[in-house]
Amino acid sequence: MFEVLTGTGLAASAGLNAYIPLLTMGLLARYTDAIELPAASAWLANGWTLTILAILLAIEVVADKVPVVDHFNDMVQTFVRPTAGGLAFGAGSASETVTVADPGAFFTSHQWVPIVAGMVIALGVHGVKAAARPVVNASTAGFGAPVASTAEDFGSVVLSLLAIVLPVLVLIGLGVMVWFAVWVVRRRSRRKRERLEAVDTRQLFG
């Protein structure tokens, strides 16, 4: 059960920022005993891998905080984040952590399951994030983009750490994401309804 929550939390984190969960796992595996990566994912703790992930993260952090640029960044990340989510779920669910001493054999014998699950989870979170950003930009004249992006980065870091150290709390994070997804859908529906009403008004008095 804990390995599923660990993988889920890391995949959801990748949906917010592709590089944070991978970098978190790599750093913790290289410099602490909080996580022991499976042999197939040991490359995450390699120095060159960590350097490349850090550079990509720096680019992502800057690009995601600039209105308009963030939209194009989300388009590119539509392919990157699900891939990172699959890698994160696969590596995280098969790792030994402070809460998982013996990862379940199911994922070991069905290695495609965590990868697909991670991709789906990350894609879902990414979809909500990408849908929410235009709403935030439009309602704040673009000034909300850096704030929203910073909050997403912070959430990705927290979710990654919780997934490894205290995975049961991942359920709270997922609950917040579901609530946020509902808010985004309602907000977009209301904005669409308001635009249609404005068009009808102009046609009526035009």
pLDDT tens-digit readout, 101-120: 566 655 555 667 778 888 99
Q: Residue holding tokens 């939209």?
A: 71
181 or 6, greater pLDDT: 6
Residue pointed to by tokens 């796992």 = 25
How many other C-beta atoms are found inside a 10 Å radius of the C-beta of residue 71?
14
Higher-pLDDT residue of 122 and 40 is: 122
Bridge partners (DSSP) listed for residue 94: none
Could you give phi then psi for residue 102, rounded to 5 degrees? Answer: -140, 90
Residues 4, 90: Cα–Cα separation, whole Å: 10
Question: 112 CB contacts (<8 Å, ≥6 apart)?
Answer: none
Q: What is the pTM of this model?
A: 0.82
Residue of 60, 120, 48, 53 lying closest to 89 (CA atoms): 120
Task: Return the number of other C-beta atoms located less than 10 Å from residue 9's C-beta.
Answer: 30
**10 compared with 201, residue with greater pLDDT:** 10
The band of 13, judged by pLDDT with boundaries at 50, 70 and 90, is very high
